[in-house]
Structure formats: C-alpha cells, structure tokens
Structure 1
Amino acid sequence: MFEKYGGFSSVSRVVLSFYDTLLDSDDVGPFFDDVDMGRLVDHQTKFIASLLGGPSSYTDEQLKQIHAGLNIRDTHFDEMKAVLCQTLLDHGFTEGDVEVVAAALEIRRKLIVE
C-alpha cells in the first residue's frame, strides 16, 4: 500500500490533514498543546508509512515508551482512529485499504492506551 498510494510524499500530506482535524478536537487536541508539531509530524509520517507497509517502523516497546504517562484512553484512541480513517478516505484510499490500516492500528491499541 505504501507504494500504491505514493510513498512518503503522499503519507506526509495525509498526516498534515490528519492533524488539521485532530488539533481542532476538544478531547484529543489538548494532547498536542506543548508538542513540537514538526517533530511529531515527522514521527507520525514514519509510523503511518509503517502501517502501510513502508520502510519505517517502530517497535512495540518504542510505541509503549512514547505514549507512557500521556493518559490516553480508549475514547481518545477511537477518535484518533476515526479521524485517520476518514483522512485516508479523503486522500483516495479505498475502503478495503482503510480497513487494513485500521486493523494494523487496532493491534497497537494496547501499546498506546493506558
């Protein structure tokens, strides 16, 4: 899927759109108040690329460490996942491919949610 949808340049556009929506959320937006967004966009681009089968990836332990202490709950994760799925659809991903990405993200829920 990574190559099918245009590689890093496409994933980067998806991630920017994703954060445009997520930052406006009353529930999830505050998580990013004091975050270096340039750095976060870079990391998230690599993470989303890995969900699409691209070359970048994070280990389970890295994901757990990155999100430790952030008090992320299932409701936050659900909103983030819904925004990501809609963003992928908005960028021309097929529903079947979005379901694959959502499943790959869901597998990592336990590493992100406390």
Structure 2
Amino acid sequence: MSEQTLFEKYGGFSKISRVVLSFYDTLLDSDDIGPFFDEVDMSRMVDHQTKFVASLLGGPASYTDNQLRQLHSHLAIEDNHFDELKVVLGETLEEHGFADEDVSAVLQEFENRRTLIVD
C-alpha cells in the first residue's frame, strides 16, 4: 500500500479549503499583503489557492513552474511579502491541527517555489 499524502491525511479539498479561507482572513488584514488583493475576485483566488496548497500537500492539483511565474510576474512580490505569506501559512496550518513536522514539510514545498513567485 502506498504511503498516504498529507493531502489525504488532512482531509482533502474540503479541509484545505477551510485552511485557505482562514489564511486569507489573516492576509487581507495585513498592511503589506492585503493590498495585493484589492482588485481580486476572492472566490476565484480561494479556488486557485486551495488547489495550490493541495499541491503542496501532495494532492492531485498542480501548477507548473511556468504557470506560477506567469501568475505572479506582474505583482512585484518581494522577499518580505513571501516571508509574511510563509509565516501566515505556517500559523494557519497549525491552527487547523497540522502536526509540526507536516507544517515544516508544507513550508519547505512553499519555499521551494520562492524564485517563481518573488520578483
């Protein structure tokens, strides 16, 4: 039997969707990050981000490096923005009951994509 992915361990898309909603509740209040979402259709953003976070957990959705680069190229995201996103993601995962080692694994997957997202 194959090893269970974090995506499966934590309940699939329905659980990841709740994590993403909490993630954005925090981010939208941020003075540094919130403005990135001023003109964004948040229902579409939550859908895309749910798929992205699911992919970080080994789920079925995925984005290619080129897609990630293109989706973020116009945003002027800097390292300090990425760092804040990473902290908020980690805190949100912890709040939703993710084990410390699983939070670390997800944050490493996120970090692996820094150069695709940061301007």
Please tell me the TM-score bracket, short chain as reference: over 0.9
Structure 2 counterpart of 1:70, from 72, 75, 100:
75
Q: CA deviation at 1:106?
A: 0.3
CA RMSD of aligned residues (A): 0.3
Identity %: 69
- Determine the structure 2 residue equivalent to 1:82: 87
Which of 1 and 2 has greater Rg?
2
TM-score of the superposed pair, with normalisation by structure 1: 0.99
Q: Per-residue displacement from partner, 1:76-99 (whole Å, max 9, x unpaired)?
A: 000001000000000000010000
Counterpart mapping for 1:1-114 below 5 A = 1-114=6-119
Structure 1 residue 69, shift from structure 2 partner: 1.6
* Aligned-partner Cα distance in 2 for 1:74–1:94: 26
SS of the aligned residue for 2:8 comes to: coil
**What's the TM-score once normalised by structure 2's chain length?**
0.95
> What secondary structure, in the 3-state scheme, does the structure 2 residue paired with 1:3 have?
helix
Count of paired positions:
114
Runs of at least 5 residues in structure 2 that lack an aligned partner in the other structure = 1-5
Q: Which aligned segments of 4 or more residues in structure 1 are displaced greater than 6 angstroms?
A: none
Q: How far apart in 2 are the matches of 1:2 and 1:102?
A: 14
| 1: CA distance, partners of 2:21 / 2:11 | 15
